[in-house]
Amino acid sequence: MRLRNTLLAATSALGLVLAVPVSANAADGVFRYTYRADGSEHRGELVDPKAEECVDVKGATDQDAAYAPVNRTNGSAVAFLEFGCVGDVYRVLDPGASAGRRLNFRSVLFS
Question: Does the pLDDT of residue 6 top 50, yes or no?
Answer: no
List, for residues 90-111, the tens digit of each pLDDT value. Answer: 999 999 999 999 999 999 999 9
Q: Is residue 17 part of a domain?
A: no
Q: How many domains does the structure of the chain reveal?
A: 1
Q: Is residue 7 part of a domain?
A: no
CATH code of residue 106: 2.60.20
The string of DSSP codes covering 32-43 is: EEEEEETTEEEE
Q: Is residue 54 part of a domain?
A: yes
Q: Is residue 10 part of a domain?
A: no
Of residues 17 and 59, more confidence is placed in 59
- What's the whole-number mean pLDDT along residues 21-38? 82
Q: Is residue 3 part of a domain?
A: no
Q: What is the DSSP letter of 59?
A: T
List, for residues 58-89, the tens digit of each pLDDT value. Answer: 999 999 999 999 999 999 999 999 999 999 89
Q: Among 106, 75, 105, 81, which Cα is nearest to 93's?
A: 75
44 in Cβ contact with 37 (< 8 Å)? no
Q: Is residue 48 part of a domain?
A: yes
Residue positions counted in the chain? 111
Question: Does the pLDDT of residue 28 top 50, yes or no?
Answer: yes
Q: How far apart are CA 82 and CA 104, in angstroms?
A: 9
Segments forming the whole domain that contains residue 93: 29-110
Q: Among 36, 103, 24, 25, which Cα is nearest to 71's?
A: 103
Q: Note the pLDDT of residue 26.
A: 77
Q: Note the pLDDT of residue 24.
A: 52
